């Protein structure tokens, strides 16, 4: 028997209503904030991710599904959503939509990660990118939008962790200070951090190793090193965030992995204990250089992405509210024609309707109607057909009434 590829799974009809629910709420919130959806292909040139995510990142080095096209071009399944959206923004000259471009996406991403619980190699992200705004208003809007999504999904106990990581001007000074500090603790750092201390000391700050964590707790903090522009940006953002009254903490250790981030970075964590130690729900931040790096005009942007599978895990208690308006039950073969006519007429009027194609016993048809969550069933027997009528039974109250077939067909 053929099966899905390891680490990939089907989303079954019994789960789909939760997906629709999350997608619907996100789409409503995006609309409230005037974001437009963009859909990009799942397959892109490998070069896009090498340049847009970074050749030395784990994602590009180890996790992409990469293969050759028939003409030998190297292609990759998208491992994340930002690089394709930036590519589309440049290729379609969306930057001409002045002054800003606000885009969101929902879709499947692919990473060949080591299989572990709750991690899939084909997973879904919902994210947004806000291009062309340097003002902290854009950062505050993104944060407000995310909190609105979480609120409407009724996710409790979430906390934003907000930081600034400076810019190309001021960050080198901070990196230098970090390097000095960590060098004094070199022997106690994990092997990985020892290696990256020279190239990217910021990454030591988000190492999960407990010793590294402990050392990082007393390290220099970024806010003491940022330039005036970055400092003002951060302060203005916090003022705006105070206004929307969301739970947040300033955390100078939220650095995010990638070099193109500037100023604002943030993460949202679930602190009600549902997710355990790995409790980050989503992350995002402001970036520049990415658009120009991919041959577009110099543009600052801010974005975020949520892992949908993780989000659904937080919603597991949402009841499956599947239902159908009518199940039409022909009591014999002679009534099938009429059942089809009535069902068609109700469907055209906008009701959800199904017919049991087996025309089996009444008992088994009623059982099936129950399983579908039918609000009402329509029974058509020999006598009813003779009188041009049918019986409508309300499944909740068990009330029955006789209705005229002509009424429903017109």
Task: Tell me: does residue 188 bind Zn ion (CB under 5 A).
Answer: no
Task: Tell me: does residue 167 bind Zn ion (CB under 5 A).
Answer: yes
Q: Would you say 205 or 378 has its CB closer to Zn ion? A: 205
Q: Would you say 199 or 383 has its CB closer to Zn ion? A: 199
Q: Would you say 15 or 169 has its CB closer to Zn ion? A: 169
Between CA 104 and CA 306 the distance in angstroms is: 11
Binding mask 366-405 for Zn ion (x = CB under 5 A): ----------------------------------------
Q: Are 186 and 192 in contact (CB under 8 A)?
A: no
Task: Tell me: does residue 324 bind Zn ion (CB under 5 A).
Answer: no
- Which contacts (CB < 8 Å, 24+ apart) does range 87-91 have? 87/40, 87/44, 87/48, 87/52, 87/294, 88/38, 88/40, 89/129, 89/131, 89/291, 89/296, 90/291, 90/294, 90/295, 90/296
Between CA 45 and CA 50 the distance in angstroms is: 9
Rounded alpha-carbon distances, angstroms, from residue 320 to 10, 129, 138, 155, 193:
18, 32, 36, 17, 46
In terms of Cα–Cα distance, which of 267, 259, 262 is closest to 304?
A: 267
Q: Would you say 122 or 227 has its CB closer to Zn ion? A: 227
Q: Which of 122, 177, 207, 391 binds Zn ion (CB under 5 A)?
A: 207
- The backbone torsions φ and ψ at residue 207, rounded to the nearest 5 degrees and listed phi first, read -70, 140
Q: Which of 193, 222, 255, 346 binds Zn ion (CB under 5 A)?
A: 193
In terms of Cα–Cα distance, which of 49, 77, 94 is closest to 293?
A: 49
Q: Which stretch binds Zn ion (CB under 5 A): 15-23, 37-45, 98-106, 199-207?
A: 199-207
Q: Which of 42, 94, 190, 221 binds Zn ion (CB under 5 A)?
A: 190
The CB-of-310 to Zn ion minimum distance in angstroms stands at 24
Q: Which of 26, 77, 230, 328 binds Zn ion (CB under 5 A)?
A: 230
Q: Which stretch binds Zn ion (CB under 5 A): 8-16, 225-233, 318-326, 401-409?
A: 225-233
Task: Tell me: does residue 146 bind Zn ion (CB under 5 A).
Answer: no
In terms of Cα–Cα distance, which of 303, 282, 300, 283 is closest to 291?
A: 300
The CB-of-215 to Zn ion minimum distance in angstroms stands at 9
The CB-of-174 to Zn ion minimum distance in angstroms stands at 9
The CB-of-164 to Zn ion minimum distance in angstroms stands at 8
* DSSP codes of every residue in 262-310: EEEEEEEEE-SSSSTT--EEEEEEEE-SHHHHTTS----EEEEEEEHHH
The CB-of-178 to Zn ion minimum distance in angstroms stands at 13
Binding-site ranges for Zn ion (CB under 5 A): 166-167, 169-170, 190, 193, 207, 209, 212, 227, 230
């Amino acid at each position: 028997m053929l099966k899905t590829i390891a680490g990939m799974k089907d989303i079954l009809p019994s789960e789909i209503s939760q997906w629709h629910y999350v997608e619907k709420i996100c789409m409503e919130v995006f609309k409230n904030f005037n974001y437009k959806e963009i859909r990009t292909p799942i397959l892109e040139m490998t070069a896009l991710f090498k340049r847009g995510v970074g050749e030395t990142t784990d994602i590009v080095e180890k996790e992409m599904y990469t293969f050759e096209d028939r003409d030998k071009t190297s292609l990759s399944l998208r491992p994340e959503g930002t690089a394709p959206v930036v590519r589309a923004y440049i290729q379609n000259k969306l930057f001409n939509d002045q002054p800003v471009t606000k885009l969101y996406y929902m879709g499947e991403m692919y990473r060949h990660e080591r299989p572990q619980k709750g991690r899939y190699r084909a997973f879904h992200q919902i994210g947004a990118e806000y291009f062309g705004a340097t003002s902290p208003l854009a950062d505050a809007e993104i944060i407000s939008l995310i909190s609105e999504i979480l609120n409407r999904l009724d996710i409790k106990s979430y906390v934003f962790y907000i930081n600034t990581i400076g810019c190309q001007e001021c960050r080198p000074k901070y990196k230098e200070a970090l390097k000095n500090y960590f060098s004094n603790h070199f022997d106690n750092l994990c092997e990985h951090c020892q290696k990256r201390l020279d190239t990217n000391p910021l990454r030591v700050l988000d190492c999960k190793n407990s010793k590294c964590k402990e050392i990082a707790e007393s390290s220099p903090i970024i806010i003491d090193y940022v330039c005036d522009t970055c400092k003002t940006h951060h302060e203005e953002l916090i003022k705006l965030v105070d206004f929307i009254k969301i739970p947040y903490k300033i955390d100078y250790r939220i650095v995010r992995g990638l070099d193109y981030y500037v100023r604002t970075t943030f993460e949202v964590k679930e602190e009600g204990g549902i997710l355990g130690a790995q409790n980050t729900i989503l992350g995002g931040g402001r970036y520049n250089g990415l658009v120009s790096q991919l041959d577009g005009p110099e543009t600052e942007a801010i974005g975020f992405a949520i892992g949908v599978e993780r989000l659904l895990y937080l919603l597991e208690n949402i009841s499956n509210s599947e239902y159908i308006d009518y199940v039409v039950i022909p009591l014999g073969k002679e009534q099938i024609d009429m059942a089809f006519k009535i069902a068609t007429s109700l469907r055209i009027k906008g009701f959800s309707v199904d017919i049991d194609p087996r025309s089996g016993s009444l008992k088994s048809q009623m059982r099936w109607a129950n399983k579908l969550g039918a609000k009402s069933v329509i029974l058509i027997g020999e006598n009813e057909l003779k009188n041009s009528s049918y019986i409508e039974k309300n499944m909740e109250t068990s009330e029955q009434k006789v209705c005229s077939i002509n009424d429903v067909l017109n």
